[in-house]
């Protein structure tokens, strides 16, 4: 996945940097929250249940409030698009890690480590060209 950002207009929310649409941002946040609510790690079955709830429009964005005006809000997101546009890119960037042996997904810090590595690559490029 390609991340394009403007250093002078960098949003405060990481999801706005990573995802192209507001709906993708919401689903990405929901997934990470769901994972943290389950100890930061979920199995394939839980991931499938999450994707199915999104697909069927049963995933709740906002709980019903005490006021009659505060209605419950739900979101619907295609299951295949969830895997293609949310989960796979998050795995590819290192935000989520998949353990082949335990068959579990977990929130990961590999994204941060890769961004540091990219920054170091740029510093080496600068130093290499200063010498010439």
Q: What is the DSSP string of 5-66?
A: --TTS--S-HHHHH-SSHHHHHHHHHHHHHHHHTTTEEEHHHHHHHHHHHHTT-EEEE---S
Indicate if the pLDDT at residue 132 is higher than 70. Answer: no
Write down the mean pLDDT value for the chain: 91
- Interval 80-96 mean pLDDT: 96
pLDDT bracket for residue 130 (50, 70, 90): confident
Indicate if the pLDDT at residue 131 is higher than 90. Answer: no
Indicate if the pLDDT at residue 64 is higher than 70. Answer: no
Run of H or E including 98:
strand 96-99
pTM for this predicted structure? 0.87
- Interval 58-82 mean pLDDT: 81
**Topology, domain 14-131:** Arc Repressor Mutant, subunit A (1.10.10)
> Which pairing describes strands 41-43 and 59-62: parallel, antiparallel, or unpaired?
unpaired
- Which pLDDT tens digit goes with each residue over 18-62? 999 999 999 999 999 999 999 999 999 999 999 999 999 988 887
Q: What is the pLDDT of residue 4?
A: 81
């Amino acid at each position: 996945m390609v991340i394009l950002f403007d250093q002078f207009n960098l949003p405060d929310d990481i999801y706005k940097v990573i995802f192209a649409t507001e709906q993708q941002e919401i689903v990405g946040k929901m997934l990470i929250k769901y994972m943290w609510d389950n100890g930061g790690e979920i199995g394939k079955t839980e991931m499938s249940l999450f994707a199915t709830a999104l697909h069927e429009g049963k995933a709740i964005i906002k709980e019903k409030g005490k006021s009659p005006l505060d209605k419950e809000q739900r979101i619907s997101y295609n299951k295949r698009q969830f895997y293609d546009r949310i989960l796979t890119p998050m795995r590819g960037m290192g935000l989520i890690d998949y353990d082949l042996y335990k068959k579990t997904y977990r929130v990961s810090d590999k994204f941060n480590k890769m961004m540091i590595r990219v920054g170091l690559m740029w510093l080496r490029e600068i130093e290499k060209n200063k010498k010439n």
